Each structure stands twice: as structure tokens, then as C-alpha cells.
Amino acid sequence: MLTISTTVRPATDLGFLLHKHPDRVQEFGQSYGTARVFYPEAGEERCTAALMLDVDPVRLVRSRGRSTPDYALGQYVNDRPYAASSLLAVALADVFRTARTGRCDSRPELAAGPIPLEITLPVLPCRGGPEMAHRFFEPLGWTVEAQAVPLDEGFPEWGDSRYVRLSLRGEVRLADALNHLYVLLPVLDDAKHYWIASDEVDKLIRAGESWLAAHPDRSLITRRYLGRRRALARTAFARLAELGDDVEEDLEPPVEEDPAADPGPTADAPSSEPAGELPAVPAGELPAVSAGEAPGERDAAPKRPLNVLRREAVLGALAESGAHSVIDLGCGSGQLVGALLDRPEFTKVAGVDVSAQALAIAARRLRLDRMPDRRRERLRLFQGALTYTDDRFAGYDAAVLMEVVEHVDPPRLNALERVVFGAARPGHVIVTTPNAEYNVRYDFLEGMRHPDHRFEWTRAQFQAWAAGVCREYGYHVAFRPVGDDDPELGPPTQMALFGRGSAANAGGGDD
């Protein structure tokens, strides 16, 4: 949400400037939700217009083309429904299109000059902290108040979140104010999930024409605003490399398709939507980055996708463990859960994820609604957070954390360890995570393999973490490579097999 207030007399003229009548609540459908404009106050002396955006995560996902890197939005819990972001900027541009041009036939002189304005954004993601908001808005004539929002008021020791409560006061032309917001909200947000339209450069120039060129941080603003194009390309490649070739399944119900026909990320999202162009990835390039393939190996027989190898490695380890009941913690779209259900020896299978969207995709992929009773009875699929003790996690022979720990903020890892190894305490725990050392093999990759990864461990770091867990909770551990085991770098995925009790009792079965 954002609010725009003025004390110009009469203040209700704000309605003319915004081309939105103060007496009405007006709705504007967006491809990813609904924007509403209403006036919490509309008096002679002060008038406030509010723009509130209800992001519908499901529509957000659907509004994206297939195979777009942004499908991650639907897969993960994200802040889009709760924070002002690039989505709000897109809605603002749409809803206040005319106001942004400065055109106002009924109050032309008011639209042409500065008026007293106050703009507030209760929750704005602000990369770089409150200082960044000062840096970007102050040179434009705003008095800035940016207050970091604590991560959790109950736990002040956790520190601040990346969100600020922002208030801007100044004598500014309304059209300029809207254009400042249009450019700077996504720049402050600096999210990985950002709409890129084909004419983004034009839009930046147009919205910034009266102020950007003179802004002391113009190059940082421009880089952040447009930087996403390259970042997105990298993300897309990295995602494909990590996941293998069945990325699309995450969004679409399983269909019989010729994988060779996959055109790669599409660039043809409907132009009426903010979702626009994605980096064009020539179809022929996709196999070159799949499955952790190393440079120079492109002519070799195609490798099996890393996610398939990973799943098989986990299934193999589960079989060796003799487990009959398995809980997949952070099950995502449910691929492992499906594979477990296919094997009758697994009599009880659970999938847990914190993301309702992931669970919805899992339910669809697993065809939960049409699942035969016998299979359905073996399955539990439920929402849960791995950082909170939950009785439902207990009572399984084995737990799997496949590519999950790296999504957890390091300060919360302790909580996860306590929940899994301390409270649920299954006989076996299988953990897989990327091996950061191997990342140099992805020649297009800068940074981590996925934008949501909070860290990626080297082999030594992973082993040190696992050793700590064993000491604390009385487990023993062994490690196994998954994928190409490079003599220097190790494998793309590392896997830890934990067993309860000391190594001396290993294989002794349940205690």
C-alpha cells in the first residue's frame, strides 16, 4: 500500500490531479491481483489517496509465461503480497497513468507546479537499508523518514528486516512524485523477481526525464533498474542447471511433451501485461547448461539432470536405511513424494512445505484429487515450517531435507536442527545441498545457484555443520557425492546421511 496526501487548498483537488474521484473506491484489475484506489480522508485541508494492491500469488504465477525464471515466485513464500515492491510500481504506473504525464485539464496550473505532498509506504523492501532511501529520495527534494521494520518485535535481538517504513514530505509536482516512485520502488526493492518489459529502457528514460540525469546516484539507479535483465538471465540459466530439464513441471500439470521441443524461456508474454520480455535463450543453449555439465563436455552424451540424480541418490540411501516411513521436509513440488509413493515398501510418506503454493503444485502433480484410496492413505501432505517444533514431523523412520537447508537463514538453522534432529528425531536424516566449490563449473553463474539461497556451502563447511549436528543431537554421519565427482571441486550436490546414535551402533537398527 502507499498513500499520497496533500494540504493544498482545497485538498480534494488531489482527486482531479490523480483522475480518481475521492468519493469512490475504484478497482483496477492487474494480471497479478487487484489494485484499489480510495481516499481514507478527503477534506478541504487535507486529502489522502491510498493505492492498495492485493497480490494474488496464484494469478501472479499464471500471469507469467511458462518456463520463466519468475516461476520461483509461486514456489516460495515471498513478500510480494505484503510489501510495496516493483509490483506496486507497475500498478501505480497503470492506475495513475494520466497523472504521471502531468496532464490535468481541469486543474492545469495545479498539475504543473509543486504542491505540498506527503507519501507513505508502510512496508517497503529496501536493499541497502534506510540509508538507501535517503540517498535516492533526498536529492529529489524530499524530506525522508525511513525507519527499519524489525524482523520480529518479539525478538529484538534478531535485528531489522530488509523493510522500511518510508515517509516522504516535500513540495513536489505530483507527476514527478509518481515518477520518482515508479522508478525508485523497484530500485529500492532490487528484487530478483522483477518484471522486465522489452521497452524498459524507454520507460526509465521517460519516467526519469525530469530528474534522473541530474541525480547524484543516477548510475546506481540505472544499474539497479536495468540490472535485472542480466541478473534474470543468469538466474534462468542457473535454475535450469540446478533443476535439470523438468522445470516446467513445477508450473504445469504433467503433460506428455517432447522435451526437445522445449523452446526455453519464452519471450512472448502478452504485451498488455507487465510481464514482458525475458532474456532470449536460444533453445540450443539449454542442454549446454543442464545437469551440471562441465564446459568442454558438450559433445558428450547428454547427462542426466542433476535433480534426477539427486532424487535417485536419496531413494537409494532410503532403501539402504531400511526405512518404511519417510517424511520429506521442504518437499517443494512433490517429486520425491511421488517417487516414494511409487514404491510400495514406503508404507507411510509425508510431504511438508512452508509454501502453500508449493503444496498446491504438489497436490496437482501428484493428482491428489484422483488418487486411489490405497495410495492416498499412505500419504500426508501438509504445511509446516521447519524452524518450529511440530509433532507431525515425528514418527517417521527417515526424514529428507533435499535442497532445503540453503533456503533457511543462517540464524534460523539452529532452530531447524532442533526441530529435526532434536524433536522429530528420526532414525535417519538425509540432507542434500549444493557444493559451492562446484559453482565455478557453471560458467554463466555469478553468485549462488538460486536467488532464494541464503548460503551455499563448500564441502568442508557442510561437513563441519554436520559434525556439529551430530555432537549436539547424538547422530553419526557419512557423506556421498551426487553427480559428477570432480577430483578437485567435488560433486555438484553433496549429501549427508545421518543415523541416530554413535557410528559404533550404526546399522544396529532402531533404538
DSSP label at 457? B
Q: Is 86 in the site for ligand SAH (CB under 6 A)?
A: no
DSSP-based three-state secondary structure for 254 = coil
Non-local (6+) Cβ contacts of 125 within 8 A are: 79, 83, 84, 85, 162, 163, 188, 189, 190, 191
Q: Is 355 in the site for ligand SAH (CB under 6 A)?
A: yes
The neighbour count for residue 234, using CB atoms within 10 Å, is 18
- Tell me, what amino acid is at 242? E
Using the minimum distance from each CB to ligand SAH, give the nearer residue, 121 or 424. Answer: 424
CB of 32 to ligand SAH, least distance (A): 19
Backbone angles phi, psi at 490, to 5 degrees: 85, -170
| 8 A C-beta contact, residue 63 and residue 32 | yes
Which residue from 123, 385, 420, 448 is in contact with ligand SAH, where contact means CB under 6 A? 385
Using the minimum distance from each CB to ligand SAH, give the nearer residue, 196 or 469. Answer: 469
Which residue from 335, 433, 435, 493 is in contact with ligand SAH, where contact means CB under 6 A? 335
Q: From CA 414, how far away is CA 191, in angstroms rounded?
A: 27
Using the minimum distance from each CB to ligand SAH, give the nearer residue, 278 or 385. Answer: 385
Using the minimum distance from each CB to ligand SAH, give the nearer residue, 49 or 361. Answer: 361
CA dihedral 319, 324, 328, 331 (to 10 degrees): 80
Q: Is 309 in the site for ligand SAH (CB under 6 A)?
A: no
Q: Is 353 in the site for ligand SAH (CB under 6 A)?
A: yes
Q: Is 238 in the site for ligand SAH (CB under 6 A)?
A: no
Which residue from 16, 32, 39, 76 is in contact with ligand SAH, where contact means CB under 6 A? 76
Q: Specify the stretch interacting with ligand SAH by CB under 6 A; choose among 94-102, 133-141, 161-169, 398-406.
A: 398-406
| Beta strands 2-6; 115-125: pairing state | antiparallel
Using the minimum distance from each CB to ligand SAH, give the nearer residue, 175 or 401. Answer: 401
Which residue from 70, 190, 277, 403 is in contact with ligand SAH, where contact means CB under 6 A? 403
CB of 289 to ligand SAH, least distance (A): 18
Closest CA to 181 of 214, 219, 150, 221: 221
Using the minimum distance from each CB to ligand SAH, give the nearer residue, 30 or 355. Answer: 355
Q: From CA 53, how far away is CA 120, in angstroms rounded?
A: 14
Q: From CA 67, how far away is CA 478, in angstroms rounded?
A: 36
CB of 358 to ligand SAH, least distance (A): 4
- Which stretch of DSSP H or E encloses residue 235? helix 218-243
Q: Is 332 in the site for ligand SAH (CB under 6 A)?
A: yes
Encode 304-323: b = buried (16+ Cβ within 10 Å), e = exposed.
ebbbbbbbebbbebbeebeb
Which residue from 386, 429, 477, 489 is in contact with ligand SAH, where contact means CB under 6 A? 386
Enumerate binding residues for ligand SAH (CB under 6 A): 75-76, 330-332, 335, 353-355, 358, 385-387, 402-404, 407-408
